[in-house]
Amino acid sequence: MVCSPSFAHHGNAAYDEKNPITVKGTVTEFAWENPHVQVYFDAKDEKGNIVHWSVETLSPGKLVRCGWSKDAVKPGDSVAVTLDPAKTGAPVGFLRKFVFANGKELGLKEQ
């Protein structure tokens, strides 16, 4: 409950919360900062072109309470990111689930 991002985020509904998608890619940057931690990662689209994705999540304090740390994610990590995508079609989203290629998940729920 404490960590769950089930609340309506940002209020202005920039993200499509009803249609999350999962994107697989490689991390390029992990911004462990306020107001929200961000993960930047590259993924290939159906045509094989590289798309630069950005996903935002909770504040560092909340993530620590979910079991993350500032070193939890590194450039080069292979990840499967489930996110609520921006309604405009921009490669930006709000994080719902974060799983490494080896199956390890970084939780966003109360442990």
Partner 1 sequence: MNLIVVMAASLALPCLMLAQMPGPESGAAKAKGAAQADSHNLSGMWNFYNNTPGQGIYATPSKDAPPMTDWAKARYAAAKPGYGPKAQAGGNDPILRCYPAGIPRILFFPQPFEIVQTPDRVFMFFEREHEFRQIWTDGRSHPKDVEPTWMGDSIGKWEGDTFVVDTVGLTEKSWLDFYGDPHSDDIHLIERYKRTAPDSLTLQLTVEDPKAYTKTWVGDTKIYKLLAGKKAYMEELPCIFDEENSFTDRIRMPAVTGPDKN
- Binding residues vs partner 1 (CB under 8 A): 1-2, 4, 6-8, 10-15, 31, 33-36, 38, 54, 56, 59-62, 64-65, 86, 88-92, 110-111
| DSSP-assigned states of every residue in the chain | --S-TTSPPTTT--B-TTS-EEEEEEEEEEE--SSS-EEEEEEE-TTS-EEEEEEE---HHHHHHHT--TTSS-TT-EEEEEEEEBTT--SEEEEEEEEETTS-EE--S--
> Closest separation between CB of residue 69 and partner 1, Å?
12
Q: How far is the CB of 13 from partner 1 (least distance, A)?
A: 7
CB of 71 to partner 1, least distance (A): 16
Question: By C-beta, is 62 or 97 nearer to partner 1?
Answer: 62
